[in-house]
Structure 1
Amino acid sequence: MSTQALKILVIGPSWVGDMVMAQTLFMVLAKQHPGCAIDVLAPAWSRPLLERMPEVRRAIDMPLGHGSLQLGVRRQLGISLRSEAYDWAITLPNSLKSALVAAWAKIPRRTGWRGEMRYGLLNDLRVLDKARYPLMIERFIALGLDSDKPLPAPLPSPGLEIDPEQRQQALQALGLQTTRPILVLCPGAEFGEAKRWPEQAYAEVARKKLSEGWQVWILGSAKDTEGAERIRQMLPAELQLYCENLAGKTVLAQAVDLMSLASAVVSNDSGLMHIAAALHRPLVVVYGSTSPGFTPPLNANHEVVSLDLDCSPCFKRECPLGHSNCLKQLPPSLVLQALERLPIDVSVEAGS
C-alpha cells in the first residue's frame, strides 16, 4: 500500500472543543503520511471548523444527531462510503454506534479505543492507559500511531486558518467596527452550569476594560443570549454603547472569524475557549468543575484561573454540593490580573 495514496476516514467527535483538539491528530497523520487524504465524518455544525483545518481534505456530514442510533441510516452511509476505498478509519468517540459506519464501509484497518463492546467492529483495538495518556489530545494522537510508537514531542497545537475576506463579510453583516481593542467574552458552556463563571463577574471584567477604551463582544449560542444581555445591562449606560451582545446572532463560521480579531479573550472551559486557543488569541480561562489537566487551552499565550478548592474538579454538570463556590468565590480581580500579565497587542485589528 502506497503511503502517498493513503486515504483515511476519521470519525469525529460531537463537541466543539473536542473537534478543535482533534486537529492535533490530523496534523500528526499529515506529517506521518505525506500526501495522505484525510476526510472527517462529523456533525454538520463542525464543517466551519474542519474547513479551517488545512490538513482535512473533506468534511462529510453525519446525518444523525448526537445519541441517535438509527442503524439503517448508519448502514446506508457506510455502504455509500465504500466507493471511496479508504485504507484506514480512526474512530475518536468511544461509543458502539460510532464504530458502525467504518465497519459497514468495509475499511480494512479500523482503529479506536476499546470503549463500548466494539469487538469485531474495530480490528485495531487499543486499550486506553489513562495514566500514560492523561490529555485528550494524547488519546487522539495515539490512535494515529502504531500502538508501540511514542507520541511526538512537543505535542502539536491546533491552528485554525482564517480567510480575511470571509472575516470582513462577518464584520459587515453584524455592523461591527475594529477601531478599539476587542475583548471577547465567552460566558456560556454547553456542558452545564458548573462550568459557568457568574455573569456579574464577567460584567465587572467588561466594565474595567471598557473604561480603558476597549470594546467588548460577547459570543455564544442562542442559549446564551439572555445571560449575555444581562451582562451587558449590568454595565453603565455610557459603556453599553461599546458592548455587543452577539450570542445567538452568529453562525459558528462567523464566531470563529470574529474571534480571530480579539485582542484578548476571557472564557469558561468551553468549545469557544478551544477555538480562541486555536486562533492563538491571548486567553484567560476560568476553571471550576473541570480541570486543565485533561483539556487545557493549547496555545502558549494563556492564563488559567482557578481557586483549586478541595471539592474541585468534580466534573459534574451541576454542583453536587449546591454552592458552586469554585466559581462564585472566584473574584474578577484574579482574571483582570491575569489579563495584565498576558502579552497583548492592543493595536487595531491585532488579530489580523
Structure 2
Amino acid sequence: MKALLVRLSSMGDLIHTLPAVSDLARVRPDVELHWLCEEGFADIARLHPFVRKVHILSWRRWRKELAKRATWQAIGRLKSSLRQERFDFVLDSQGLLKSALPARMAGVPVKGLDKRSAREGLAAFFYTQTFFVQKGQDAVLRNRLLFAQAFAYEMPSEMSFGALVPENIRLSNPNHPYCVVLHATSRDSKLWRQGNWRELMTKLHESGGYTVYLPWGNAQELARAQELADGLPYVRVCEKMNLLQAAALLDGAQCVAGVDTGLLHLANALDKPLVGIYTDTDPQKTGVQQSAKARNIGGVGQMPETEEVYRLLLECMAAQQTGCQGEEK
C-alpha cells in the first residue's frame, strides 16, 4: 500500500503527527508513506525514518504571486508529480480547506475527519471517506485515532514520536555538556521575564557546569538573546540555524527549558528532558506531552518562579538518567 499524508503546517502540528506515523510504522510496515507539507516545515517530516518521501507545497509563497505564470506552472508540476506516484489514497490529517484542496491534487480517494471532527467542517465535503474523532482531545491522540481508523488497525498502547536527527546534521564543536534555552515565542505575552532566564541559566551552570545555548529566528530574537547573554560567559548565542540544525542542537542537550514555541515541541519529539514555561496560554491545550522527563508549568496569566522551573528541570534530568541506567542493565 502506498499513501500520501497531507499535514502542511505549522511546526507544532507536524510534530504532533509524528506519533501517528510511529504507530503506522509499528503496525503497518507494509505501507509506503509519503508526506505533503509546506516547504518551511519539510525538515520536520524528514525527521521520521518511516517517511519515504517528502513532497513540498509552497502555498505561503504562491498565494502572494498568484498572478504570475511561474506560480501556476509550479502548481502544475506538483500536481503531476503527485499523480505519477500512483497513491492508493491520501489522508488529510489537518482538516482545513487549505489542506483538503491540495489533497485532491493526487487524483485518488481522499480520507479525513468528518464534518463534526474537522477544524473546518467544510473540508469534509472534499473527502471520499470520513472518520469521527472527538474534538477537545489532545492533538497527538486525535492524530493517532485518525490514523488507526484510516489504515484499519488498533492503536498501540505505547506512544513514541520516533524522530531521529540525520547523522550528517551535526553542529561544529559545541561545548559539552550543555543546555538549551528557548526564550523566543510568537508574541510578547508568552515570554518569560529576562531576569528569570538569567537566574535559571546561572543555576544550571553553577550546579552542573553547563554551557547554555540560545537559539533565535529573527533580528528581534537575536537582540533578546544577546541581552540575556550579556555578562554571562557560560551563555552562548547561537549562529543562525535551519530546522535540522536546531534539531541537532536540541538532540545533544542535557536539558531544554522553553516558552510556548514550536522548538519546545521539537525537543519533546526528540525525547529530551525539558520544562515548558507557560505565561499566557493553557498547557492543557498547547503544552508538551508530559512524562517523567517532560513537564509543563504555568498557564494563562501566570509567571512561574525560577526555583520551581529549576526544580522541575532537575527532576526531568534525573528521570532521564534513571531511564538510561535501566536500559544499560
What TM-score range do you get, normalising by the shorter chain?
A: 0.7 to 0.9
Task: Quote the Cα distance in structure 1 between the aligned partners of 2:10 and 2:282.
Answer: 17
The gaps in structure 2 that reach 5 residues or longer are 322-329
| TM-superposition CA deviations, 1:116-135 (whole Å, max 9, x none) | 4135421113344225xx10
Q: Given the alignment of the two structures, is residue 242 of structure 1 paired with residue 240 of structure 2, yes or no?
A: no
Change (3 A) 1:165 1:84: closer
* Structure 2 match to 1:129: 134
* Structure 2 match to 1:162: 165
Q: Secondary structure at the match of 2:29?
A: coil
* Structure 2 match to 1:303: 295
1:182 is displaced (CA, Å) by: 0.9
| TM-superposition CA deviations, 1:123-168 (whole Å, max 9, x none) | 113344225xx1001221222122797962535231321344431x
Task: Quote the Cα distance in structure 1 between the aligned partners of 2:274 and 2:162.
Answer: 15
- What's the C-alpha RMSD, in Å, of the aligned pairs? 2.7
Q: Given the alignment of the two structures, is residue 211 of structure 1 paired with residue 206 of structure 2, yes or no?
A: yes
Any residues of structure 2 matched to 1:105-120 within 5 Å, and which?
105-114=106-115, 115-120=120-125
Task: Quote the Cα distance in structure 2 between the aligned partners of 1:13 and 1:201.
Answer: 35
* Structure 1 match to 2:314: 340
- Give the letter aligned to residue 257 of structure 1: A
Asked if 1 retains the 8 angstrom alpha-carbon contact of 2:111 and 2:150, the reply is no
* Structure 1 match to 2:223: 226
Asked if 1 retains the 8 angstrom alpha-carbon contact of 2:180 and 2:212, the reply is yes
Change (3 A) 1:153 1:83: closer
Q: 2:175 aligns with which of 174, 177, 181?
A: 177
- Give the letter aligned to residue 157 of structure 2: P
1:171 is displaced (CA, Å) by: 2.0
Q: 2:182 aligns with which of 159, 167, 186?
A: 186
Task: Quote the Cα distance in structure 1 between the aligned partners of 2:63 and 2:193.
Answer: 33
- Give the letter aligned to residue 279 of structure 1: L
- Give the letter aligned to residue 302 of structure 2: C
Change (3 A) 1:68 1:280: same
Any residues of structure 2 matched to 1:245-324 within 5 Å, and which?
245-246=237-238, 249-298=240-289, 300=291, 301-306=293-298, 308=299, 312=300
Asked if 2 retains the 8 angstrom alpha-carbon contact of 1:276 and 1:283, the reply is yes
1:41 is displaced (CA, Å) by: 0.7
Task: Quote the Cα distance in structure 2 between the aligned partners of 1:272 and 1:142.
Answer: 25
TM-score scaled by length of structure 1: 0.78
Q: Given the alignment of the two structures, is residue 53 of structure 1 paired with residue 48 of structure 2, yes or no?
A: yes
Asked if 2 retains the 8 angstrom alpha-carbon contact of 1:196 and 1:268, the reply is yes
Task: Quote the Cα distance in structure 2 between the aligned partners of 1:194 and 1:67.
Answer: 31
Asked if 1 retains the 8 angstrom alpha-carbon contact of 2:83 and 2:106, the reply is yes
Task: Quote the Cα distance in structure 1 between the aligned partners of 2:245 and 2:282.
Answer: 28
* Structure 2 match to 1:9: 4
| TM-superposition CA deviations, 1:291-313 (whole Å, max 9, x none) | 3323442363122222x5xxx3x
Percent identity for Structure 1 against Structure 2: 21
1:335 is displaced (CA, Å) by: 0.7
Change (3 A) 1:119 1:46: closer
- Give the letter aligned to residue 60 of structure 2: G
Asked if 2 retains the 8 angstrom alpha-carbon contact of 1:171 and 1:177, the reply is no
1:76 is displaced (CA, Å) by: 5.5
Q: Given the alignment of the two structures, is residue 62 of structure 1 paired with residue 57 of structure 2, yes or no?
A: yes
1:265 is displaced (CA, Å) by: 0.7
- Give the letter aligned to residue 131 of structure 2: R
Task: Quote the Cα distance in structure 2 between the aligned partners of 1:89 and 1:241.
Answer: 51
Asked if 2 retains the 8 angstrom alpha-carbon contact of 1:78 and 1:102, the reply is no
Q: Secondary structure at the match of 1:143?
A: helix
Change (3 A) 1:177 1:140: same
Change (3 A) 1:18 1:295: same
* Structure 1 match to 2:192: 197
Larger helix proportion of the pair: 2
TM-score scaled by length of structure 2: 0.83
